[in-house]
Structure 1
Amino acid sequence: MKKHQPGREDALPEGDQATTDSKEFPRVLIVGQSFNGHSGGGITLTNHFRGWPSDRVAVATTAADFPDFMTCSHYYHLGSSELKWVWPLSLFSSCRDQSGRVAAAEPRIESSSAQKAFARESGGLRKVVGGIFRTLVAFLGLGEFLVVARPSVALLDWIAEFCPDVIYTQLASVGMIRLVHGIVERTELPLVVHIMDDWPSVLNADGVLGPLLNRRSHSEFRGLLRRTSRLVAISGRMAEVYSSRYGREVGYSHNPIDIDVWTQHAKSSWAVGVPFRFVYAGRVGRANARSLADVAAVIADLRSEGADVVLEVYTQDAGTPLADALSKMGVLVKSALPHGRVPELLGAADAVVLPLDFDDAGFAFSSLSMPTKTAEYMASGAPMLVYAPRGGALAEYARSAGECALLVDTAHDGRLADAVLAFVNDENLRASLGRHAKIQAIKEHDAVRVRENFRSILASAARDGLAESTSLRVRS
């Protein structure tokens, strides 16, 4: 495939003044994360690109469905032509995901009937041997390094047809690092990398070969950074750390919120209902399952003493072992609501809970993260309990933002129980926290301002073209 050539001179913005002309919106190829309303990365992506001309956005993703053709009209499914196990593990894959462009009428790409039949008929020994291989791979920690990730001819042709000006990605795996690196090398397009969590610090942390593979994955990530025009963090704290760690300028852009949407349902009275409802809406898993259990244990103790208080968890992880464990503690675990209904849910809560785990593994992953729901919780006006370790980005944000949340940044010392009781008993506290949180949300997370800043980052990367590798000086 030929190296990318700019498709049209008018594809890039001219000058620094914003206009309503489509030239202000470069043609963006998004690789990896897709638009959705249930994951942090998907919600953040959707909110950043809302208002972007749909014909100037294309998404290449491993996602199994493509729900949002209003935001984006060009989709490509990344399948076994781009991401596959090395031989002989490839022999034991039960199915092979199809790759290719996706039309609006196709809700998902399924494996072919022939492939499914092969998977059914080739059970027995093939399944047993495959299980042994997968167990060995997990034991050694080799999973990420046994995936071949490279752009296929079909993908490169689709990219050339769309003719993007810039690539945007959230990465988050070695396989995606390799695939994006391959696309950049073949197209010579400028690249913008947006980091949601500090996953580079925990890549390949498990397994016998974890330390060795960690060094290799870090090397591959740094290699991609040398080809990156703009590096964007999810929080100010992450931007500071990454600037020091990688020796380059790092911006940041957190999940924006449409103030008008949230104010329709925002809380304006802080009298409580019966029972008192603490609400959490989001995933249950890595970096928050233990802290959620801590909150559940405190509320269970209060209930045993006669307090009429409940914790409700709305999550797409309902039915998983971690969610079931919460249910056994008396938590009301319910399926996640469509994102459009979340403002009403949070506005009706007596209080909202934002927890992150305190253990070393959880802190390593989330210490620089700003959860997507942070701005949404504040905009709802529901008083917010932040239960997160001291020194992490979330705890420091809650501390620096003043009276927009009640912060508990230590674990197992009685402060969490005291905070929960304070929420239940003190209406003045709830009202003060809710009012200040709404003000902070408007000040820091208004979508109009955040989207314009984000647009300018992509536009400037598109103007500059491919970054000069010698100018990045990534530290070893």
Structure 2
Amino acid sequence: MSGTGPYPKILLLGGEAMSSATATGITLRNLFAGYPVEKIAAVFSTTFDPDWQCAGRYYRINQRDVCGLKGHGRRYLPPFPAVSSGMNPGNTPPPGALKGLFRKTALEVLEWFPLTVPPELELFLDDFAPDIVYTLGAQTQIMRLAESISVKRNLPVVLHFMDNWIETRYAGALHSLSRKKMLDALDRLMKRSSLFMTISPEMAEAYRTRFRMPGHPFMNCIPKREYRPPAEPGDGPLKIYYIGGLHLQRGETIGRVAKVLREDADLKNRFRIAVFAPEKDWKQTEALHGDPLVEYGGNLPYRQVSEKTAEADILLHVEAFAPEITDYTRLSISTKLVEYFMAGRVVLGVAPKHLASIREIERAGCFSAVTEEEIAEALRKLSSPETRQNGGKRAYEYALETHSAEKVHERFLKVFQQAWAK
């Protein structure tokens, strides 16, 4: 990691650790890439394994161990087992509806109770002697544990908000008690903080007003790459690639783009859409199945994303339009956008204009659309090779300036140093 000065020892505490399996894990892995691994210890609760080479120490907690019951955490030391970077735990078939509802309710009730801190975890923390507690919050148990460790060891807390869970988690009258406990835990945790991090500039601005302290946006980052201009267009249709999950009704928005193509003879001949998403997501997006303009390209391991984005003529980002979903997504920025920009390919975003992801696409000098008429107009403009190349070059230059790992890592370290100095 570039930057000067000492590296504080970071206790990364949360549901996930660094991994290539989820968007959150990827963001964590890329933000901490280059940070001395011996200065990072991860305490996590997910059942799938992290990328073991990203931290010096790992400890898995069990969120079912509450109220003084014996914990079953497990401390991992080198040598670490090999983990496939293409692993995707989301491919596990979902449980039946009734079983899933019961499990969700049970996990919510468990959040009311404090986690057991077994002697093994105390020894793990004693041995590592962290300088800062870094957490993503969201889970009441995790926030309570972070506060407890912070108070007992007199450590500052840096909370990194990666989605708008403050406003959306446990919404509704049936969850009012869970929501109250969550917000109480958040308020106590923020009293241990002098600053916070967010996933977007929009979120940082909104939360600065709420918490009355400095907020610093940090989203995914990747090493800078050499610019590769797009290939000369061939005789076939132009390739529109969508890469990412189809949850939160994103598949429906892709369907809107396909509908625009179907209803315009010229656009129908010019473009084809390829979707690269987890298989379980594709199976649940039946409206796209059998559409001759939409092809399913399979699920991409993260290591293959950069290669695939370079093949595209246009990279597509979509979000749902339903208000109950935009409340959740409005302040978040998609992990994949940095990959899109660094590929040097023009990006088309189809989603409500007020979402942070769409504002980020516009900051990068690319295209956005809301209505079907706007989608058609954008695609007509993007039929021009010059327009596509110029848009892709703007996106690439924006990525170098704003999201290259070299620059982000330096800022990331400085924020930790500021928190440590308080």
Question: TM-score, with normalisation over the residues of structure 2?
Answer: 0.85
Which residue in the other structure is 1:322 paired with? Answer: 284
Which residue in the other structure is 2:405 paired with? Answer: 447
Which residue in the other structure is 2:367 paired with? Answer: 406
Report the secondary structure of 2:54's partner residue.
coil
Return the offset for 1:346: 0.2
Which residue in the other structure is 1:392 paired with? Answer: 355
| Structural mapping, 1:300-339, within 5 Å | 300-301=262-263, 307=269, 309-318=271-280, 321-329=283-291, 331-339=294-302
| Structural mapping, 1:220-369, within 5 Å | 220-260=185-225, 263=226, 266-269=228-231, 271=233, 274-286=236-248, 288-301=250-263, 307=269, 309-318=271-280, 321-329=283-291, 331-369=294-332
| Structural mapping, 1:49-448, within 5 Å | 49-79=32-62, 82-84=63-65, 98-103=72-77, 104-106=79-81, 135=101, 143-147=107-111, 148-153=113-118, 154-206=120-172, 208-211=173-176, 213-260=178-225, 263=226, 266-269=228-231, 271=233, 274-286=236-248, 288-301=250-263, 307=269, 309-318=271-280, 321-329=283-291, 331-401=294-364, 404-408=365-369, 410-411=370-371, 413-423=372-382, 425-448=383-406
Amino acid in the other structure paired with 2:162 = M
Which residue in the other structure is 1:119 paired with? Answer: none
Return the offset for 1:54: 1.3
For residues 289 and 152 of structure 2, what CA distance do their matches in structure 1 show?
A: 50
Which of 457, 461, 471 is the aligned partner of 2:415? 457
Which of 19, 27, 30 is the aligned partner of 2:12? 30
CA RMSD of aligned residues (A): 3.2
Amino acid in the other structure paired with 2:170 = N
For residues 57 and 237 of structure 2, what CA distance do their matches in structure 1 show?
A: 47
Alignment check: 8 A CA contact 1:27 1:56 kept: yes
Return the offset for 1:187: 2.9
Amino acid in the other structure paired with 2:315 = V
Alignment check: 8 A CA contact 2:157 2:189 kept: no
Report the secondary structure of 1:66's partner residue.
coil
For residues 279 and 147 of structure 2, what CA distance do their matches in structure 1 show?
A: 32
For residues 297 and 71 of structure 1, what CA distance do their matches in structure 2 show?
A: 43
For residues 168 and 213 of structure 2, what CA distance do their matches in structure 1 show?
A: 21
Tell me the alpha carbon deviations over residues 361-417 of structure 1, each in whole angstroms, 9 at most, x when there is no partner. 11111111111111211111111101121222122233344xx21111x24x42123
Alignment check: 8 A CA contact 2:219 2:335 kept: yes
For residues 236 and 305 of structure 1, what CA distance do their matches in structure 2 show?
A: 35
Amino acid in the other structure paired with 2:148 = G
For residues 81 and 66 of structure 2, what CA distance do their matches in structure 1 show?
A: 26
The 10-residue stretch of structure 1 (174-183 or 436-445) with the greater mean CA deviation from structure 2: 174-183
Alignment check: 8 A CA contact 1:234 1:254 kept: yes
Matched pairs, number: 404
For residues 247 and 67 of structure 1, what CA distance do their matches in structure 2 show?
A: 34
Report the secondary structure of 2:394's partner residue.
helix
Tell me the alpha carbon deviations over residues 42-78 of structure 1, each in whole angstroms, 9 at most, x when there is no partner. 1111111111111111111123343523221311112
Alignment check: 8 A CA contact 1:83 1:175 kept: no
Which residue in the other structure is 1:114 paired with? Answer: none
- Unaligned runs of at least 5 residues, structure 1: 1-16, 91-95, 109-127, 465-476
For residues 292 and 236 of structure 1, what CA distance do their matches in structure 2 show?
A: 26
Return the offset for 1:358: 1.6
Return the offset for 1:137: 8.1
Task: Give the % identical residues.
Answer: 23
* Cα distance change of structure 1 residues 430 and 35 upon mapping to structure 2, 3 Å threshold: same
Amino acid in the other structure paired with 1:407 = S
Return the offset for 1:359: 1.2
- Unaligned runs of at least 5 residues, structure 2: 84-95
Amino acid in the other structure paired with 2:60 = H
- Decide which structure has the larger Cα Rg and report it: 1
Return the offset for 1:218: 2.4
Report the secondary structure of 1:390's partner residue.
coil
For residues 186 and 294 of structure 1, what CA distance do their matches in structure 2 show?
A: 53
Return the offset for 1:211: 4.5
Tell me the alpha carbon deviations over residues 317-359 of structure 1, each in whole angstroms, 9 at most, x when there is no partner. 5456434543354532343322222111101111100112221
* Cα distance change of structure 1 residues 67 and 174 upon mapping to structure 2, 3 Å threshold: closer
Which residue in the other structure is 1:470 paired with? Answer: none
For residues 236 and 191 of structure 1, what CA distance do their matches in structure 2 show?
A: 20
Alignment check: 8 A CA contact 2:240 2:274 kept: yes
Amino acid in the other structure paired with 2:19 = N
* Cα distance change of structure 1 residues 188 and 237 upon mapping to structure 2, 3 Å threshold: same
* Cα distance change of structure 1 residues 237 and 438 upon mapping to structure 2, 3 Å threshold: same
* Cα distance change of structure 1 residues 336 and 407 upon mapping to structure 2, 3 Å threshold: same
